[in-house]
């Protein structure tokens, strides 16, 4: 849908969209004799409290949308509510990112994830890359190894946050958080501005 909207500026160009996996939507647009392939991909990250990172990611080129929610629990767990996450030990507050892989690569998105996260010391606020398949797992693992190797004295950020804190886990069910969590800071700014 997002790729179709982005490509809708190409007047009268017939398009076909299909989902190639649970995390990829591919749109083919036929313009005359050339064909353009654009993919909207999804990635999910545990970044600490999801409110601020979800908004900051939207400012990055190629990031089309973010949704905050809960993931990371074993498959036998019922869908969570915020209280379940806060008082439990299984769930992670996560940000699901829709991005255009022609503008931002998965590796660049991992850099943004690391730069913007604010992890805590519980599973709820853990620093986790949730990977959808073996390709993402390999790419995330290579990114982490290369980042650790290239950072001075193992600190990745000026505040001392190390790449070593990042965990890589297989994706599990993602449950969209309650509506009041979506674009939280944007709503709060409007509330404060207009009382």
pLDDT per residue over 75-101, tens digit each? 889 999 999 999 999 999 999 999 999
The DSSP annotation for 13-77 comes to --EEEEEEETTEEEEEEEETTEEEEEEEEEEEEEEBSSHHHHHHHTTSTTEEEEEEEEE-S-TTS
- Write down the pLDDT at residue 150: 86
Nearest-Å Rg of the Cα atoms of the chain is 18
pLDDT digits over 40-67, tens only? 999 999 999 998 899 999 999 999 999 9
Distance of CA 8 to the CA centre of its chain: 24
Rounded alpha-carbon distances, angstroms, from residue 46 to 5, 31, 92, 135, 143: 28, 39, 6, 19, 16
Rounded alpha-carbon distances, angstroms, from residue 147 to 75, 115, 126, 160: 31, 12, 19, 14
Which residues are known catalytic residues? 49
- Write down the pLDDT at residue 31: 43
- Write down the pLDDT at residue 8: 32
Report residue 82 as tokens. Answer: 């915020």
Angle at 158 between CA 149 and CA 186, to 5 degrees: 115
The answer to whether 130 and 171 have CB atoms below 8 angstroms apart is yes
The answer to whether 88 and 74 have CB atoms below 8 angstroms apart is no
Does residue 124 or residue 4 have the better pLDDT?
A: 124
Report residue 171 as tokens. Answer: 């994706």
Kindly indicate the confidence band of residue 179, based on its pLDDT and cuts at 50, 70 and 90: confident
- Write down the pLDDT at residue 139: 98
Across the chain, mean pLDDT equals 81
- Write down the pLDDT at residue 185: 65
- The CB density around residue 183, as the number of other CB atoms within 10 Å, is 18
């Amino acid at each position: 849908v997002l790729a179709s909207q982005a490509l809708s500026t190409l007047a009268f160009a017939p398009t076909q969209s299909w989902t190639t996996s649970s995390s990829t939507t591919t749109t083919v647009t036929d313009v005359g004799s050339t064909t353009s392939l654009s993919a909207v991909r999804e990635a999910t990250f545990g970044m600490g409290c999801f409110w601020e990172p979800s908004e900051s990611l939207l400012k990055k080129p190629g990031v089309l949308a973010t949704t905050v929610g809960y993931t990371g629990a074993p498959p036998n767990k019922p869908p969570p509510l915020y209280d379940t996450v806060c008082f439990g030990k299984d769930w992670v507050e996560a940000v699901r990112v829709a991005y255009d892989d022609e503008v931002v690569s998965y590796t660049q998105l991992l850099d943004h994830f690391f730069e913007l996260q604010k992890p805590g010391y519980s599973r709820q606020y853990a620093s986790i890359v949730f990977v959808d398949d073996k390709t993402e797992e390999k790419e995330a693992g290579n990114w982490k190894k290369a980042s650790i190797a290239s950072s001075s004295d193992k600190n990745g950020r000026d505040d001392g946050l190390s790449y070593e804190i990042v965990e890589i886990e297989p994706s599990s069910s993602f449950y969209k958080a309650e509506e009041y969590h979506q674009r939280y800071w944007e709503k709060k700014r409007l509330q404060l501005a207009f009382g």
